[in-house]
Chains A and B, each alone.
Chain A
């Protein structure tokens, strides 16, 4: 501002308060487009085929297993009295939990103005959508007669009976289908400007046509950006309560019942924290190899890895607290069934499941207190896989261990999965990785225009954005 006749003499902020750049090596705007878009151009690399072929084989196996299960009946699964919810519900909750990190990154971190999210949100949202697709398979098949799945929706049928909305299972139908739809809308809206990037650099007719079609004629007009940013903000604001409600409602499927081990009030927050924990595990599992293979180290920087490790540590600790609190509540309730259910978790016939969960979810993430370990990519990768394993066991502990010994010892049993359970689960990985590999190959896996927006070049008040140093003197200092 011209009002200051003399130059302002303000002390420089200390170096440790300097924010690390979100894009390393001062890459320019054009470089970001080139780097990200080039991943989808030219011939697909060898490793892509090497991963796609086994993934598609897994997908084929999934389809076979679903066909076998539908034509034979749910008896092909290991579900057997008293454990009537087995791997189907475990895997449903596990996959849908994984999705939650994508929405946390895209919506909650957006509202909290965590600008680092731009580097990872596109891939994380894709992960969300594909994980919810994998999850959706299980309840649809678990009903036994798949051809009656439409009875779950409020569609008039020949029996004139409507869905029964007093059941949390109905709430789940609405929560999961809304979650999927809104995630797709949010993802697609974020893609529109980037599809325009792809359209404008497309060389072949078919790419020009398809990217052009889905870019909807985006020109980068500021009148459009103005509405777009408002819509994005609102979608983020809507997705935030959505993501918190989805896993809360999933947890109510359990908590509303009367079963010891399920009938607890801490389930909603505990499930949401666990979901975000497992989701960040999966984001790290996916992005650490991808940034290396695609040479995206300047866009998904060590700072991104570092903050994601911190979120993993925080949510892992919340989950650990919930495990402890569950035991306290069981003891404090005075109910002998509750107490038994929890002692049986830790010391019963499934003790190995419980302790795998504790080691993977509570002990292992504590290493992330050390910066050296957060910066060691091999270590972070291994931990991220352990987190996924641990969270799978959490659902196993909650579902199988609570069910296998309920009130009457006469009805106790021991659950073992069948080969169909195992092959269906492996098959869902085939579906997930097939979709994810197609995504990284055909769509920009990093939000190009959003990353451009967090570079110093994009800031009209920064020297790299073209601001004159004279103007800088009065701005913000």
Chain B
């Protein structure tokens, strides 16, 4: 099998060191790179220069869809398709239609946020070059990593390695595709 380089992976031992390194990589102008941590490190989004996540839009669209679906469904079923007089109550009123519509708002909003998150993260992705690396498995244990992909226009094996070494990484290696 032909092996193509995927990128350079640098290991870090503490949350502070990986965060400072991320600031350096950000300032060097890289675009195709990422930080890998066992838990979300607070302040890392800023250190990486990430924008606010867009998951909220998915949840919002889901919620609006849910509420509209609930209201329209109940109106159609109880007032239009098969009107049935019960206890002298109106055929349709937003008040009795509210509780089910409210629940559907939450249901669709929840689906929106979970699947929106998975969509934005391009998950599930069961194959990833980094997952083949033995050392990288420690990312779910207690280590922190920065990976810079070779496809980044600023990637240069020597200079990138120098940058990561200066950022304080004790272990740097190349990972294959």
A residues apposed to B, CB below 8 Å: 28-30, 33, 154, 160-168, 170-171, 174-175, 178, 181-182, 185-186, 188-189, 193, 196-197, 199-201, 212-213, 216-231, 234-235, 238-239, 241-242, 245, 249, 252, 449-450, 452-453, 457-461, 465-468
Q: Which of B98-106, B150-158, B159-167 contacts A (4 or more CB under 8 A)?
A: B98-106
Q: What is the total of A-B residue contacts with beta carbons within 8 Å?
A: 218
CB proximity of B132 to chain A, nearest CB, Å: 11
The 0/1 profile, CB within 8 Å of A marked 1, for residues 59-78 of chain B is 10001000000000110011
Interface residues of B in 66-113 (CB under 8 A from A): 73-74, 77-78, 81-82, 84, 86-87, 89, 96-97, 99-100, 102-104, 106-107, 109-111, 113
| Contact A234:B56 (CB < 8 A) given known A178-B104, A200-B141 | yes
Residues of A contacting B96 in the complex (Cβ-Cβ under 8 angstroms) = 165-166
Q: How far is the CA of A303 from the CA of B88 in the complex (A)?
A: 55
Which residue of A is nearest B37, CB measured?
A220
Taking the complex as formed, is B40 at the interface, i.e. its CB lies under 8 A from any CB of chain A?
A: yes
Q: Are A220 and B38 in contact (CB under 8 A)?
A: yes
Taking the complex as formed, is B50 at the interface, i.e. its CB lies under 8 A from any CB of chain A?
A: yes
Q: How far is the CA of A163 from the CA of B96 in the complex (A)?
A: 13
| Contact A223:B43 (CB < 8 A) given known A186-B110, A245-B102, A465-B16 | no
Q: How far is the CA of A450 from the CA of B40 in the complex (A)?
A: 8
Chain B interface, number of residues (Cβ within 8 angstroms): 71
In the complex, given contacts A197-B140, A225-B40, A453-B40, what are 6 additional A-B residue pairs having Cβ atoms less than 8 angstroms apart? A164-B86, A165-B74, A175-B103, A178-B106, A238-B110, A466-B17
Residues of B contacting A212 in the complex (Cβ-Cβ under 8 angstroms) = 126
| Contact A457:B106 (CB < 8 A) given known A33-B142, A162-B81, A234-B59 | no
Q: Are B53 and A227 in contact (CB under 8 A)?
A: yes
Q: Are A238 and B106 in contact (CB under 8 A)?
A: yes
The contact sample of 13 A-B pairs, CB cut-off 8 A, is A30-B141, A154-B73, A160-B82, A164-B84, A178-B103, A188-B114, A213-B126, A219-B36, A219-B128, A220-B140, A224-B123, A227-B121, A245-B103
Q: Are B107 and A178 in contact (CB under 8 A)?
A: yes
Q: Are B16 and A245 in contact (CB under 8 A)?
A: no
Which residue of B is nearest A179, CB measured?
B103
CB proximity of A361 to chain B, nearest CB, Å: 27
Residues of B contacting A458 in the complex (Cβ-Cβ under 8 angstroms) = 15, 39, 41
Q: How far is the CA of A198 from the CA of B34 in the complex (A)?
A: 22
Q: How far is the CA of A241 from the CA of B40 in the complex (A)?
A: 26
Q: How far is the CA of A166 from the CA of B77 in the complex (A)?
A: 12
CB proximity of A66 to chain B, nearest CB, Å: 27
CB proximity of B152 to chain A, nearest CB, Å: 14
| Contact A200:B84 (CB < 8 A) given known A225-B40, A460-B19 | no
